[in-house]
Amino acid sequence: MAPTLAVLMDAIAEIRIAKDTTFALLLEAQRRGYELQYMTQGDLAIRDGSAWARLAPLVVRDDASGWFDLGEAEWRELRNIDIVLARKDPPVDAQFIHDTHVLQLAQDAGVLVVNDPRGLRDANEKLFAQHFPQCCAPTVVARSASELKRFAAKHGRIVLKPLDGMGGRSIFLSAHGDPNLNVIIETLTANGQAFAMAQKYIPGNQRRRQAHPDDRWRTRAVCAGEDPAGR
């Protein structure tokens, strides 16, 4: 019997397969003989302390004109699945955190859940980097408008962003003296109710964007254990 791999993700019909990491993982898992199952957030449930999901059989193809087929979904207990890929994109809101608790029940029942639900809860991709400030641009995280404006006064041009976003959404380039700085801070912090991150603007990122418009200005280092495996 083929091993089963279920994926929790956003709507597969809306992904861009040329750049979607989840899709690449699914293609490789299928190539290796895994039976694929698909679910979104609305398909998760808990029944008497056990994690369940409404799973649809999934077949994927590296074909931009039609990259997937879904079978009829049915409710299954996740303890009977071999691997669950937790690939839901941010925002990391209350519903995202609730999902990790459901997946924690599956993990406790013996399912391999990737990434670990505890890690998804604890390692916010923006805040976790603050364990390594020597690798980051000067940064402040605050709800206080005065603290964020103090940072802008110190560093001049700054980049402001929410903690729970992704894909370049709601990211602002501003500066000390910018007439829009107040409204940017009010928007990102919900008038002082939510954390926002500000970082010193690094001009080299703009030059990289102009030189490499298709790579979204970033380089990712991929490690297998402690060893670099790609970039």
**Domain regions of the chain by residue span:** 4-122, 128-211
- Biggest CA–CA distance in the chain, Å, is 65
Per-residue pLDDT of the chain (231 residues; tens, 9 = 90+): 899 999 999 999 999 999 999 999 999 999 999 999 999 999 999 999 999 999 999 999 999 999 999 999 999 999 999 999 999 998 888 999 999 999 999 999 999 999 999 999 998 888 999 999 999 999 999 999 999 999 999 999 999 999 987 777 889 999 999 999 999 999 999 999 999 999 999 987 555 556 555 554 455 666 666 777 665
**pLDDT of 210:** 60
Task: Supply the pLDDT for residue 10.
Answer: 96
For residue 7, the model assigns a pLDDT of 98
Give residue 217's pLDDT: 45
Residues sharing a CB contact under 8 Å with residue 51, sequence separation 6 or more, in sequence order: 44, 45, 77, 78, 79, 102, 103, 105, 106, 109, 111
Please give the Cα distance from 96 to 92 (Å, whole number). 5
58 three-state secondary structure: strand
Q: Assign a CATH topology to domain 128-211.
A: Dna Ligase; domain 1 (3.30.1490)
pLDDT for res 49: 97
Alpha carbon distance 164, 91 (integer Å): 5
Q: In the CATH scheme, what architecture does the domain 4-122 have?
A: 3-Layer(aba) Sandwich (3.40)
- What pTM was estimated for this model as a whole? 0.80
pLDDT of 130: 94
Whole-Å CA distances, 185 to 148, 163, 166:
8, 13, 18
> What confidence score (pLDDT) does residue 132 get?
93
Give the C-alpha separation, 105 to 79, whole Å: 9
pLDDT of residue 209: 58
Beta bridge partners of 68: 60
Helix or strand run (H / E) with residue 60:
strand 50-60
Round to whole Å and give the CA distance between 200 and 154.
9
What is the C-alpha to C-alpha distance for residues 212 and 209, in angstroms, rounded to an integer? 5
Query: By C-alpha distance, which of 143, 176, 137, 136 is closest to 162?
Result: 143
> 141, 139, 148, 145: which is closest to 192 by C-alpha?
145
The structure tokens listed for 173 are: 């380039």
For 18, list phi and psi in degrees, rounded to 5: -70, -20
Instruction: Give the separation between CA 59 and CA 36, rounded to whole angstroms.
Output: 7
